[in-house]
Chain A
Amino acid sequence: MCGIVGLFAKTGEVQERLGERLGAMLATMADRGPDSAGLAVYREPAPAGMTKLTVFSPDPDEDWAALGAHDVRASHAVLLRADAADVPAHLRVVSAGERIELYKEAGDPRAFVERFDLASMQGTHGLGHTRMATESRVTTEGAHPFSTGLDLCLVHNGSLSNHNALRRELRREGIAFQTDNDTEVAAGYLTWRLREGDTLEQALTACLDDLDGFYTFLVGTAGGFAVLRDPIACKPAVLAETDDWVAMASEYRAIAVLPGAEDAAVWEPEPARVYAWEHAAGPAQVA
């Protein structure tokens, strides 16, 4: 099953409360995916010359202060580094880029919302996932979103059947994978296509030919997010838009928690069609 949520802020007010809104959306989707939850949120950019890294430590007593962590949330922390490789080996890097921060854990999504204090996060846009595992084990690594490229991440509802073959091909292209999860392969595929010069829309359109299986994807980039459903579109998706925000979710229930939802334009994305929203002049600055 799995649940997907996404929120793209068009106003400063929505940016200010982005984490709170996404947390409410995620909690609503807990019964679609009770075993893990995750959130990628695009926030203030790293200082010039620095990369923003989100890292995970399995050690509950991790000494984050000694690592100069910029922000700490439960088992994850944000590090700002001039050299992105400057991370101790026992930490796992879950995202890297200028703006992206990524948090995910096995366990009840409602507890995740509290534990990671999503309500305190501002940001321009974000996407989240509640997981009911099908293709790989229930672990923090197997939780979504998956990020395999700078500022790029993906959440997925569905199942891919050619991910093993595709992972082998992508490894030959130099794409690294941390798990045997099918969604990570889709994220890696997009990273590869973007590296080869595709626009996000071109890369997503190429998925229709190269990915075998069923999927609703929500893809985040530094500037916005995009939605794609497979040509049969058996996995649910709802989009809603007001003057203040664009929201995407597996079910309307997750959108109903947003202010103004009752008067939003609501529709189901068509199969095999890319829908994308970008902040026109790059993401607005967030306080």
Chain B
Amino acid sequence: MAVAAEVETVDLRETPLRELNRRLHGAGGDPLPPRWRVTHPDGAHAVAVGIDAPVEVDVDGHVGYYCAGMNQHATVRVHGNAGVGLAENIMSGTVVVDGYAGQSCAATGRGGLVVVRGHASARCAISLKGADVVVAGDTGPMSAFMAQKGVLVVCGDAGEALGDSLYEAHLYVRGQVRSLGADCVEKALRGEHVAELEALLARADVDADPAAFRRYGSARRLYAFDVDDA
């Protein structure tokens, strides 16, 4: 199994979490192995947080808070569910969770891509600052609250107060929106939006018809918006 031998496997029932993260941060000075597998996370917090290298990390099981937070360049895949703050403040790279994402998924994310294949809880993409977030299922209440830049795609339904106090993030929802937050309005889905969606869905490997979505954005009545500053 030559391929398996190239994967650096870390069992969190045997290895302390801090040691895993230190190694993922390049402690020791040697080049990082390109592929990692983390087993038995058992809901631990801060798994694979703060990576700044183009490595691939597969986590087998459920993780706790802040998994893959502050991620740069890495691809982190969680084969399970994630707790609060998955990929919080992601800068670049890709974070994918196969199951459910707890609240504040991708909060303040500045770049990169976050994919939730199940549902996402409350406050998904809160204060988004440039990252792209694709949720194959539903999102909970108060999602995209004060989101400034970036894209949130919801293939299922969105909970209450979607996009409350929204700035310039783009929101797309295929299902029902329970309610829109203050200053969030539906806008026309034009050709450039369909193209944006199509590219993002392809990157996220989510099968959905871009034309089936509705677009939501800021009415720009709550903040001092000047189109010349956009």
Contacts and interface: CB of A to CB of B under 8 A. Distances in A.
A268 B140 contact: yes
Given A236-B84, A256-B42, A271-B122, A251 B100 contact: no
Nearest to B119: A267
Chain A interface: which size bin?
A: 10 to 19
Interface size classification for chain B: 20 to 34
Nearest to B82: A252
Contacts of A266: 62, 81, 99-100
**Interface SS of chain A:** mixed
A262 interface: yes
A125 to B, nearest CB: 22
Interface string A230-263: 0001001010000000000001111111000110
A108 B144 CA distance: 40
B44 A238 contact: no
A157 to B, nearest CB: 14
Contacts of A270: 122, 140-141, 159
Nearest to A269: B121
B80 interface: yes
A238 B122 contact: no
A238 B83 contact: yes
B61 interface: yes
B54 interface: no
Interface in B30-64: 42-45, 61-62, 64
B93 interface: no
From A261, A266, A270, name the one whose CB has the most chain B CB atoms within 10 angstroms.
A266
A10 B159 CA distance: 31
Contact of B103 (A233, A251, A253, A261): A233
Nearest to B140: A270
B102 interface: yes
Contacts of B81: 252, 266
**Residue picked from B44, B62, B100, most chain A C-beta under 10 Å:** B62
Given A233-B122, A251-B83, A252-B62, A268 B141 contact: no
Contact of B64 (A233, A253, A261, A262): A253
A261 B80 CA distance: 11
B62 A268 contact: no
Nearest to B141: A271
Contacts of A255: 43
A4 to B, nearest CB: 15
Contacts of A262: 61-62, 80
Nearest to A249: B43
Nearest to A233: B122
Interface string B72-91: 00000000110110000000
B102 A253 contact: no
Contacts of A252: 43, 62, 64, 81, 83
Interface of A: 233, 236, 238, 251-257, 261-262, 266-268, 270-271
Interface of B: 42-45, 61-62, 64-65, 80-81, 83-84, 99-100, 102-103, 119, 121-122, 140-141, 159
25 contacts: A233-B103, A233-B122, A233-B141, A236-B103, A251-B45, A251-B65, A251-B83, A252-B81, A252-B83, A253-B42, A253-B44, A256-B42, A261-B62, A262-B61, A262-B62, A266-B62, A266-B81, A266-B100, A267-B100, A267-B121, A268-B121, A270-B122, A270-B140, A270-B159, A271-B141
Return the 4 tightest CB-CB contacts between A and B, nearest first. A252-B43, A253-B43, A256-B42, A268-B121
Given A233-B122, A262-B62, 13 more contacts: A233-B141, A251-B45, A252-B43, A252-B62, A252-B81, A253-B44, A253-B45, A254-B43, A266-B62, A266-B99, A267-B121, A268-B121, A268-B122
